[in-house]
Structure 1
Amino acid sequence: METGESGAGSCVLRSAEVGDAAALAAIYAAHVESGSASFDTVPRTVAETEEKIRDIREKGWPFLVATRGSEIVGYAYASQFRDRPAYGFACEDSIYVRSDHVGQGIGSQLLAALITQSTAFGFRQMIAVIGGGEPASVALHGKMGFEHAGRMRSVGRKFGRWLDSVYMQIALGEGDSSAPKREPDERKAPSK
């Protein structure tokens, strides 16, 4: 998959590859070390990032990188919102843009493509869990049609201060207006 648009903020989007791990780890590390978007306090290693790419791709979920020329300037992926089977149609988005490229439309381009690919996968709801209630992330998700779904106050602590998590949500495809073609794996109680 490769997409691109013309314009100052445009970049080329493609599927993530394991070989991208060092660049993605560096982008994530900058957010962990200086921001509240991630509640991690220690950045992922390159090896952990390689494993994340493999895991998401093996499940068929979208994992995108944004490039300008030969440089990776951002990435986004969707993963199942929670690991229990009944959550199988809800995903959580994660988007990180290299700090020297923030505010250039890359996040919008990544999120639009992520919504499209997550819908194609069969997810029916996308949840944004916005660490620190980051205003730029709230604005980005609102611009893309997400609605406020809640705020968990002071659930994180980083850089000597309490942090909220803001939840935003958007329906994908038919949302909850129809039943999916497949049901999640459910364990049935033994018959008596």
Structure 2
Amino acid sequence: MRIETATLEHVAEITTIYNDAVLTTTAVWIDSPVGIADRRAWFEDRQRLAFPVLVALDEHDAVVGYATFGPWRPHEGYRHTVEHSVYVRGDQRGRGVGRMLMVALIDLARGAGIHAMIGAITSDNVASLRLHESLGFEHGGTLRQVGAKFGQWLDLALLQLILDEAPAPLR
């Protein structure tokens, strides 16, 4: 398996992975699948804003997972913080794909001078919480019953990783 920068050719497979998460998990708090045009616009927006989209490719060059980061909040005071997302194809979960993507994404964030990375994770997603904690993320708090899906209230756990030792922002 290898990690590469995503291209437009990967958007269809990214869409399939995303829609599987929409339909079968509480990782994405929307109820309806999206079309390829939606994911293409999302991808082009990431490129325009210079945010990475990484893909994990198997030995047949099939996308088995993807990861990205983007702004945490829109206000300039948050410019040193990003929120990330990582999705793994259903038949590949638990095989280290998410870890490989996260390690590469964290390295990119550090290289870009990002100070903090946030993960907003459904609080019952134990596998994702454990992965993040094993990578050094710390629990920043839980927002109770802020989402709903599959007829249940969802709690949102916020995890954060400080990426550098800067005592103060440079700008």
Q: Same fold (TM over 0.5)?
A: yes
Q: Secondary structure at the match of 1:104?
A: coil
2:5–2:55 CA contact under 8 A, matched in 1? yes
Q: Secondary structure at the match of 1:37?
A: coil
The structure that has the greater radius of gyration is 1
Which residue among 146, 158, 171 is the counterpart of 1:155?
Answer: 146
Match of 1:42 in 2: 32
Which residue among 49, 63, 66 is the counterpart of 2:53?
Answer: 63
Letter in 1 for 2:38: E
Which residue among 94, 99, 103 is the counterpart of 1:108?
Answer: 99
Q: TM-score if structure 2 supplies the norm length?
A: 0.95
- Cα deviation for residue 132 of structure 1 reads 4.5
Letter in 2 for 1:143: S
2:123–2:142 CA contact under 8 A, matched in 1? no
Q: Is it true that 1:29 corresponds to 2:19 in the alignment?
A: yes
Match of 1:75 in 2: 66
Q: Is it true that 1:127 corresponds to 2:139 in the alignment?
A: no
Q: Secondary structure at the match of 1:60?
A: coil
Q: Secondary structure at the match of 1:53?
A: helix
- Cα deviation for residue 43 of structure 1 reads 2.1
Q: Provide the rounded CA distance (Å) in 1 between the counterparts of 2:104 and 2:116.
A: 15
Match of 2:10 in 1: 20
1:60–1:121 CA contact under 8 A, matched in 2? no
Letter in 2 for 1:15: T
Runs of 4+ residues deviating >4 angstroms: none
Q: Secondary structure at the match of 1:177?
A: coil
Q: What does the per-residue CA deviation read over 1:56-100, in whole Å, with 9 as the maximum and x for residues that have no partner?
A: 122222210000022100000000101111111100010000000
- Cα deviation for residue 179 of structure 1 reads 2.2
Q: TM-score if structure 1 supplies the norm length?
A: 0.85
Which residue among 90, 95, 98 is the counterpart of 1:99?
Answer: 90
Letter in 2 for 1:159: F
Q: Secondary structure at the match of 1:156?
A: strand
Which residue among 162, 167, 170 is the counterpart of 1:177?
Answer: 167
Letter in 1 for 2:143: M
- Where does the alignment leave 5 or more consecutive residues of structure 2 unmatched? none
Number of residue pairs the alignment of both structures matches: 170
1:147–1:169 CA contact under 8 A, matched in 2? yes
1:37–1:132 CA contact under 8 A, matched in 2? no
Q: Secondary structure at the match of 2:142?
A: strand
- Cα deviation for residue 54 of structure 1 reads 1.2
